[in-house]
Amino acid sequence: MRKYLLLAAILIAAAGGVLADTIEVGAMVEPSRVAPGSPAVLTVTVIGTQRAEPPEVVVPEGLRGEYIGPRTLVEIVNGRTSSSIRFLYRLTPMKAGTFTVGPFTVRVGNSEYTAAAVTLTAAGQGEGGGPDEADELAGAVSFSMEVKKDRAYVGEEIPVTVRLKSRVSLTDISYPILTATGFTVRRFAPHREERELIEGSLYEVIEFDTAVYAGTAGELVLGPARSTCTMVVRRRIPRSLQGRGGLNDSLLRDAFAMPERRPLELASGSVTVSVRALPYKGRPADFDGAVGSYELEVDAVPLEVKAGEPLTVTMTVRGDGNIASVTLPQMASEVGFKAYEPQVRTNTVEWERGAPGERTFEQVLIPEDESVVALPRLSFSYFDPAEGEYRTVRGGAIPITVLPDEQDGGIRIVDVLVPAREPAEESLGRDIVYIKGSPGGFRRAGARLYGNPAFLVSHAAAALVFLAVVTVGRRRRRLEEDVAYARLARAPRKAQSGLAHASKLLQQGQARDFYETVYQTVQELVGDLHNLAPGSVTRDGVCALVAGGLEENLARDLEALFDACDRVRFTPGEAESEEVEETMLLAHRVISALSRSPGG
């Protein structure tokens, strides 16, 4: 028994060591500058676990601190699960000045982690009248482009990463558009998301990967990369209203509690790439512009045919480089064969994610006679930029067996001598039926088939089944080919499913996730009804889109629903139970009305 206890203790200690290597702690305060009497939110974030104890926050004189509570988060990004917990505190300066809070010690199990201190500035009416919002948001969002090579050959793959970092909430982020005159740009791979602690602040990092291929030699400018997004920030109480007598502070805070959406246009810097021409020395005769590192695989079926019968040769070129520009490998000779145009398939799914690509050529060859004993030899030449020289890979020359065609000699008629037979004696008997001189009367042998009810029902059912199959087939084909029709047809059912999921979250007491689900359900419903990309559906755009075609009450309900969702999603605190129930009824009413409206 002691051995098992000792083994369990060792495993727990090892697990704790692994956990310790993956835990990060950071702290930030937003806004970093406020007016005296205005609150700021201190957030202490622990990444890598949710089993952490809230740190003790000691505030200096003149600053009032209040613990709001924890917020947990579990994310699955690129198949990897990460968990975190945030401890929220409300800091309210009672006088003007600069206050330093922290450092903060967080206990996780038997280990302690420390986050750096934060600074909160309170400016009086005569010292600036509150936070300088431009200073506060400076550095909140960064957009950059990283080019992995600044020297390359014509056609060589140049990896590019566009990186977006933000410590504020961003929505409606569009994929970057890369200015690349003189380059061919590969489609961007699916983006990656992660979190990163930078100088004590937690940043959301989004990376977009692609590759470019220069089409000409010289000094080429790559970039800038451009993107658009919407920044969501809390409104600030105007300086002219701060400290006025007769104003109810709680009403004033409620009026400016709604988050403000600000469109952003992002642009990165540019990079100059020195592009060299491919050398003429050593260039093979069959070189057709491929640059990278490739291998050739050749297969053929069947390996035994008759002269004049076809066989299929499959040639697969696989490797790193611009796989979409790879051409058919060259045959040493087509003598003895009749060749047809190949069919080409390109597997770009993994290639666009940065993995080696694959291009397959299937060509039909027909051997003309039995003298053919092997397939022609194949070769594929490319330029290897890593070594700076041309290379050729070869394949083919697969042995085959060609049988002679049995009809090659033409049709031959051979006379066969058959001995004569003596005529047999014929005898008249019972096997002779004499022809009647008069046919006699006619009568119906049985009921008419077309008058049988079962016959009529079966034919009618077959016709109905045929019409049903044709109708279902047309609808299925339209759903596959017409994206707008497919989204429109599935939108109501998809929205009802989203409402059901939101109702389940509400029953589980997850109010914040409930509001997030309701917002996404309405956003996706409008996008499906109008065939819009999910990222392009914003609150203001949705309201403007539906206001002209809907009743005034429905447009007002839609705006109220978005406002209710944004109020809970982007502000601290929890919603009241009555407000949550009203939001659920409002969501049912809006989604039902949108689903019934023609075209949303």
pLDDT bracket for residue 6 (50, 70, 90) = very low
What is the architecture, at CATH level 2, of domain 2-133? Sandwich (2.60)
Question: Which CATH number is correct for 141-236+254-276, 2.60.40.10, 3.40.630.10, 3.20.20.10, 3.40.50.300?
Answer: 2.60.40.10
Q: Is the pLDDT of residue 404 over 80?
A: yes
The whole-angstrom separation of Cα 178 and Cα 329 is: 33
Q: Is the pLDDT of residue 443 over 70?
A: no
The pLDDT value given to residue 233: 76
Cα–Cα distances (Å) from 420 to 31, 414, 424, in that order, read 119, 18, 12
Higher-pLDDT residue of 374, 437: 374
- When mean pLDDT is compared across 9-23, 97-111, 365-379, 578-592, the lowest value belongs to 9-23
Residues β-bridged to residue 88: 43, 69
CATH numeric code, 293-403:
2.60.40.10
Please give the CATH topology (third level) of the domain spanning 483-596.
Answer: Four Helix Bundle (Hemerythrin (Met), subunit A) (1.20.120)
Mean pLDDT of 83-100: 88
509-531 pLDDT per residue, tens:
787 788 888 888 887 887 777 77
The pLDDT value given to residue 558: 78
pLDDT bracket for residue 258 (50, 70, 90) = low
The pLDDT value given to residue 566: 75
The pLDDT value given to residue 14: 42
Name the most confidently modeled range: 114-118, 447-451, 472-476, 489-493: 114-118
Q: Is the pLDDT of residue 312 over 90?
A: yes
Q: Is the pLDDT of residue 125 over 90?
A: no
216-228 pLDDT per residue, tens:
999 999 989 999 9
Ranges of CATH 2.60.40.10 domains, the chain: 2-133, 141-236+254-276, 293-403
- When mean pLDDT is compared across 180-194, 237-251, 376-390, 502-516, the lowest value belongs to 237-251
Phi–psi pair at 130, nearest 5 degrees: 120, -170
Q: Is the pLDDT of residue 599 over 70?
A: no
Cα–Cα distances (Å) from 319 to 125, 194, 254, 290, in that order, read 66, 29, 60, 11
Mean pLDDT of 443-455: 67
The pLDDT value given to residue 485: 77
Mean pLDDT of 63-91: 82
Of 200, 206, 211, 207, the C-alpha closest to 178 is 211
pLDDT bracket for residue 13 (50, 70, 90) = very low
Against a cut of 0.85, is the pTM above it? no
What average pLDDT does the structure give for the chain? 78
Residues β-bridged to residue 227: 266
Q: Is the pLDDT of residue 167 over 80?
A: yes
The whole-angstrom separation of Cα 270 and Cα 341 is: 43
Ranges of CATH 1.20.120 domains, the chain: 483-596
pLDDT bracket for residue 372 (50, 70, 90) = confident
- Percent of the chain whose predicted confidence (pLDDT) is above 90: 24
The pLDDT value given to residue 157: 93
Name the most confidently modeled range: 67-81, 121-135, 357-371: 357-371
The H or E element containing residue 232 is: strand 225-234
Mean pLDDT of 528-536: 68
137-165 pLDDT per residue, tens:
657 889 999 999 999 999 999 999 999 99
456-460, Cβ contacts within 8 angstroms, sequence gap of 24 or more? none
Mean pLDDT of 454-474: 84
